[in-house]
């Protein structure tokens, strides 16, 4: 199964694609989609739409995984803007008829590290180790996207094993 993890944001959206095979996980591709703050919101969302569409076409994933939206009461505007970027990404998912999954950040950390309150550094080390990376990705957004993809692999595999035992 090929899994596309996306860490959405308006400025820097990270993405990571992994293949899940019987022997383990392998990195297929990763990067960021960047927009410029000087551009109008519709233009920035259009860039995200075009680039995520291109990534889906180029890598042909079986599913897409996003982090569930967390709304902090002190930063409602940030959540609103993040929701717009997420909406554009979900639109691409629907248009390309990809299976869609979303997990809370604590669920991703629990799947990757074994602790829902794990630090960013712990998640980075586990992502690097799981994929055999020689060095950490340049952007934390890439690491977060890869963590989503890896977590989905672990979570779905566990669910399949449980169903097989029933």
Q: What is the pLDDT of residue 110?
A: 95
62 catalytic per annotation: no
Closest among 31, 38, 35 to 46, alpha carbons compared: 35
Q: Which residue is catalytic, options 43, 97, 102, 141?
A: 141
Structure tokens belonging to residue 10: 């308006």
Question: CA-CA distance, 150 to 116, in Å (whole number)?
Answer: 15
Better pLDDT: 115 or 10 = 10
Is the pLDDT at 122 greater than 70, yes or no? yes
19 catalytic per annotation: no
CATH topology of domain 2-165: Nucleotidyltransferase; domain 5 (3.30.420)
Is the pLDDT at 157 greater than 90, yes or no? no
pLDDT tier for residue 106 given thresholds of 50, 70 and 90? very high
7 catalytic per annotation: yes
Question: CA-CA distance, 140 to 124, in Å (whole number)?
Answer: 8
Is the pLDDT at 42 greater than 90, yes or no? yes
Q: Which residue is catalytic, options 19, 51, 58, 67?
A: 67
Is the pLDDT at 5 greater than 90, yes or no? yes
CB 43 within 8 A of CB 29: no
Q: Which residue is catalytic, options 7, 20, 51, 144?
A: 7
pLDDT tier for residue 162 given thresholds of 50, 70 and 90? low
Is the pLDDT at 30 greater than 80, yes or no? yes
């Amino acid at each position: 199964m090929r899994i596309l993890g996306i860490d959405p944001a308006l400025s820097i959206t990270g993405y990571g694609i992994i293949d899940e095979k019987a022997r383990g996980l392998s990195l297929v591709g990763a990067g960021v989609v960047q927009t410029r703050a000087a551009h109008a919101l519709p233009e920035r969302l259009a860039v995200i739409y075009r680039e995520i569409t291109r990534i889906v076409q180029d890598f042909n994933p079986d599913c897409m995984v996003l982090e569930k939206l967390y709304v902090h009461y002190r930063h409602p505007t940030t959540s609103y803007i993040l929701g717009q970027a997420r909406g554009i990404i979900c639109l691409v998912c629907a248009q390309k008829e990809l299976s869609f999954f979303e997990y809370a950040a604590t669920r991703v950390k629990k799947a990757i590290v074994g602790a829902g309150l794990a630090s960013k550094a712990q998640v980075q080390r586990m992502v690097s180790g799981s994929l055999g990376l020689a060095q950490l990705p340049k952007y934390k957004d890439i690491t977060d996207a890869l963590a989503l993809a890896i977590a989905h692999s672990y979570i779905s595999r566990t669910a399949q094993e449980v169903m097989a035992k029933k």
